[in-house]
Amino acid sequence: MTKIGPLDTAVSVDSYECTIAVECCVFGFQDNELKILLVKRSIEPFKDHWMLPGGAMSEGKTLSESVNQVLNNLTGIEKMSLEQVACYSEVHRHPVKRVVSVSFYALVKPENYPAIPKNYISDIKWFGLDELPKLGFDHNQLLADALEKLRDNLRDHFVFGELLPDQFTLTELQELYENILGESLDRRNFRKKILQMDLLEATNEKKAGVKGGPSLYRLKK
């Protein structure tokens, strides 16, 4: 068995060996911009390439446990809530051996998750989506799929992770939606849809320092 890094392990699948890996698409929203956390690999293959944090599923661990362990081993980040995106099993997606990957995504505030390079990672950086480098392996595709999943979840299920403050106006909520989705939304239709989802409750308070005092809302508990 050929190893590509200290986190890689292999399992026997019939007559061949196959590594089961987990990949982390960690999106961060900062300064009104959606960003992605990338790591730079210090070993071959794809040495000095930027990519998503990822590594092999550990023996005795579930996928969810493994993805948090891998993220911690590479970046020092702990206990992040991640959602599964997809499984990738193309035969030649890895240049050395057979690897099947399961990808996950998270949506966080970068300031809440300081990261440091560990093990075979030489650097870590948050990249804006309009300044992405070409990633190692097939991680550009994994990132594109995770971004689509994130945006679909925002449209359909109001999944914002930890981005919302305790209280906010509907205008602030719409601006957050538009920045992450990368598109403009009709004000009337947006408010109608959000209020019909019955996820918000009025606080009976007004936003201070703004003319007209727009109403403040919060998520229902």
Domain layout of the chain by residue ranges: 11-154, 170-219
Q: How many CB atoms lie within 10 A of CB 119?
A: 14
Containing 29, the helix (H) or strand (E) segment is strand 16-30
What does the pLDDT read at residue 212? Answer: 58
pLDDT digits (tens, 9 = 90+) for 46-66: 999 999 999 998 888 999 999
Q: Which residues fall within 8 angstroms of residue 107, CB to CB, at 6 or more apart?
A: 27, 28, 29, 150, 159, 160, 161, 162, 163
Q: How many CB atoms lie within 10 A of CB 25?
A: 27
Q: Which residues fall within 8 angstroms of residue 184, CB to CB, at 6 or more apart?
A: 178
* Domain 11-154 belongs in CATH node 3.90.79.10: yes
Containing 64, the helix (H) or strand (E) segment is helix 63-75
What does the pLDDT read at residue 16? Answer: 59
What does the pLDDT read at residue 11? Answer: 42
Q: Which residues fall within 8 angstroms of residue 132, CB to CB, at 6 or more apart?
A: 36, 140, 143
What does the pLDDT read at residue 8? Answer: 39
Which positions of the chain have pLDDT values less than 70?
A: 1-16, 161, 209-213
Query: CATH assignment of 170-219, given 1.10.8.350, 1.10.10.10, 3.40.50.2300, 3.30.390.30?
Result: 1.10.10.10
How much is the pTM? 0.84
What does the pLDDT read at residue 106? Answer: 94
Q: Locate tokens 């960690």: which residue?
A: 26
